[in-house]
Amino acid sequence: MFENRAEARIDLSRLTENIELLKKKSKTKLLAVVKADGYGHGLVQIAKTAETAGADWLGVALLEEAITLRKNGIKIPILAWLVPPGSDFKSAVELDIDLAVADIKAFNEISKLSNKPRIHIEVDTGMSRGGFLEEWEVFLKSDFSPVNIVGIFSHFARADEPEEKQNIDQLLRFKKMVDQLEAVGIKPQYKHLSNSAATLMNPDATFDFVRAGIAMYGLSPDVKTLGDSNKLSLKPVMQLRAKLHLVKNVPAGSPVGYGATQTTQRATKLGVVAMGYADGIPRTAQTAGVFVNGCKAPIIGRVSMDQFVVDLGPDSSANSGDWVIVFGDGSRGEYTADDWGSASSSINYEIVTRIGPRVPRIYEPHVY
């Protein structure tokens, strides 16, 4: 039996606490967004925990994600919203999966199925991404009798910037499109607009349920505008750790890594961490690193496919085979997913979702 060289340790009790916090704050039903392998935390296990924790709905991007959840015993409603024409709509209906409809072509395909497919109409209120826009007036003249219109929804573009006027514009546009739909006799049971940021910051956008994604995993929707997890009372669910493959002494002036982009400024100890960009460590990261023996050790040189190098410092007591924390919740001084996002000119969402499949997810209570 071999020991893992790297692990994403997932604290499901923290996931439960975050869900309870978000439900309490929103005072309404909650759709737990588990797309993209549960934001990198593991699709099925996260979904089961969310269901147990009181989530009323689950949301996924892809229909295959929803099918996987049904086949793994998930009972609560599931909405799949990235389902273009040609998708396996028949399986969706058979498995009682709700489908988002964003254009007339997809609606016409779904309308041909039996058993009144459950659909949520997606409308474009100003993000210019998914949803009805120019087709809307034509769509309102459709024959809706073959389907069960369960919901209508849209998505904020700038909810993580609460003071932006676009949020008000989108809210007003959404209400107008709801009114237009109701004017032709269709009154969906569920209207939903809020993502994580709106759930935390905009009670006017709550409607019939909120869609909690990044906040459910204990991370801030935007550290710069909303503050970090701690400020938002969220608890990061994932801790990423890896083994030191090698610890070695090198003299001052030693070039490190491909391209020799950095050189040691003193005699020091370097640690080779057994993860790389094939595992989701950003190759562009410049200022992050790992936490070992109570100290931060910054990256030095370029991240490679399977490994990266950190400067442990000349007095480090670290040894080959030791575990190091790549990111955690920051409570002990370690780097966070926010730090790694900033270091790679990206965001915490990308850091957790890009952790590769060869890094096992280990579900443990009290990781931190």
Question: Percent of the chain at pLDDT above 70?
Answer: 99
Annotation says 258 is catalytic: yes
For the stretch 270-327, pLDDT in tens is 999 999 999 999 999 989 999 999 999 999 999 999 999 999 999 999 999 999 999 9
Q: With 0-12 CB in 10 A as exposed, 13-18 as middle and 19+ as buried, what is 86?
A: exposed
- The CATH number of 238-363 is 2.40.37.10
Residue by residue, what is the 3-state secondary structure of the chain? CCCCCEEEEECHHHHHHHHHHHHHHHCCEEEEECHHHHHCCCHHHHHHHHHHHCCCEEEECCHHHHHHHHHCCCCCCEEECCCCCCCCHHHHHHCCCEEEECCHHHHHHHHCCCCCCEEEEEECCCCCCCCECCCHHHHCCCCCCCCEEEEEECCCCCCCCCCCHHHHHHHHHHHHHHHHHHHCCCCCCEEECCCHHHHHHCHHHCCCEEEECHHHHCCCCCHHHHCCCCCCCCCCCEEEEEEEEEEEEECCCCEECHHHCEECCCCEEEEEECCCHHHCCCCCCCCCEEEECCEEEEECCCCCCCCEEEECCCCCCCCCCCEEEEEECCCCCCCEHHHHHHHCCCCHHHHHHCCCCCCCEEECCCCC
What is the model's pLDDT at position 1? 61
Annotated active-site residue in 187, 224, 231, 258: 258
Number of residues written out for the chain: 368
Query: Are residues 323 and 296 in contact, defined by beta-carbon separation less than 8 angstroms?
Result: no
Q: What is the mean pLDDT of residues 202-224?
A: 96
Is 90 one of the catalytic residues?
no
Residue extent(s) of CATH 3.20.20.10 domains in the chain: 12-216
Distance CA 335, CA 341 (A): 10
Q: Average pLDDT of the chain?
A: 96
Contact (Cβ atoms closer than 8 angstroms) between residue 285 and residue 299: yes
Token representation of residue 183: 């004017």
pLDDT of residue 367: 76
pTM over 0.75: yes
Contact 168, 205 (CB under 8 A): no
The mean per-residue pLDDT over the stretch 93-105 comes to 97
Residue 33 has a pLDDT of: 98
Nearest to 283 by CA among 213, 193, 346: 346
Domain with CATH 2.40.37.10 in the chain: 238-363
The pLDDT value recorded for residue 286 is 83
Q: Tell me the average pLDDT across 110-129.
A: 95
Catalytic residue among 23, 25, 35, 235: 35
Kindly give the interhelix angle for 43-53 and 63-71, rounded to the nearest 10 degrees: 70
We find that the CATH architecture of domain 12-216 is Alpha-Beta Barrel (3.20)
